[in-house]
Amino acid sequence: MIPIISKTYCSSSQVVLVVRKRPHVISGGGFVVTDYSQKVIFRVDGCGIIGRKEELMLRDSGGDALLLIRRKQGATVEVLSLYKNWKGYTSDYEGSQKLVFSLKEPNSFLVKNNVMRISTEPRVSKKDWDFEIRGYFPDRDCSIVDTKGNIVAQMARAKKEVPEFMTSNDLYHVVVQPGIDQAFVFGVIAILDYIYGESTRC
């Protein structure tokens, strides 16, 4: 079990969840994560709701904040760096923030082998990163992989056996492996959604 945000979101079996994007015009953007019975598990608020660019919020089914995600500021450093840094924070009962993961976004996707890597706090591997994103998110052909090459979560277009999900590009499913923190997975997906200019972006 790898509880990065909370062990509450680590299941002993594989979980398949559905992402539904919210339109900017009606609800300010972001997306909702449900199971197949349409019970809400998570909600992600983008900058259309929060009102700040490069800041996102992952909430639980009751609307309570689980994770604050923001891109680390520092324009001068970023121009010189190969990466832009995203940070995910949880809050304790006193309101102080605790860093739980960092994601490095390549400054240029034109450079070959510029992969996105994620480091967790505390670390779960002996490498300088713990997870890697493989594939291309806009095509929904994308996975989060650990340092051993195991797929821990996989995004894909909705299954053909569920016809209603084939009608819209705003629906896709995510398979999360046993023991993996689902809240962490959707925090990472929120960042990918923003990077590629989708529902969480203003």
pLDDT tens by residue, 19-68:
999 887 767 889 999 998 999 999 999 988 888 888 999 999 999 999 99
Q: Decide if 57 contacts 50 (C-beta within 8 A).
A: yes
Does 48 map to a domain?
yes
Which DSSP string corresponds to 37-83? T--EEEEEE-HHHH-STTEEEEEETTS-EEEEEEEPP-HHHHHHSSE
Q: How confident is the model over 109-152, as pLDDT tens digits? A: 544 456 799 999 988 788 889 999 999 999 999 999 999 999 99
Does 44 map to a domain?
yes
Residue 160 has pLDDT above 60, yes or no: no
Q: Measured between alpha carbons, how far is 154 from 51 in angstroms, rounded to an integer?
A: 30
How many domains does the structure of the chain reveal? 1
Does 201 map to a domain?
no
Does 191 map to a domain?
yes
Does 2 map to a domain?
no
Q: Specify the CATH number for the domain of residue 171.
A: 2.40.160.200
Look up the domain containing 39 and give its range.
Answer: 7-195
User: What is the bridge-based pairing of β-strands 97-106 and 31-34?
Assistant: unpaired
Name the percent of the chain lying above pLDDT 70: 84
Q: Which phi and psi (to 5°) does residue 165 adopt?
A: -80, -10
Q: Measured between alpha carbons, how far is 149 from 132 in angstroms, rounded to an integer?
A: 9
Q: Measured between alpha carbons, how far is 101 from 103 in angstroms, rounded to an integer?
A: 7
Residue with tokens 């994770």: 67
Does 146 map to a domain?
yes
Does 182 map to a domain?
yes
Does 20 map to a domain?
yes
Q: To 5 degrees, how large is the angle CA 103–CA 132–CA 129?
A: 65
Q: Decide if 29 contacts 202 (C-beta within 8 A).
A: yes
Spacing of C-alpha 81 from chain mean position: 23
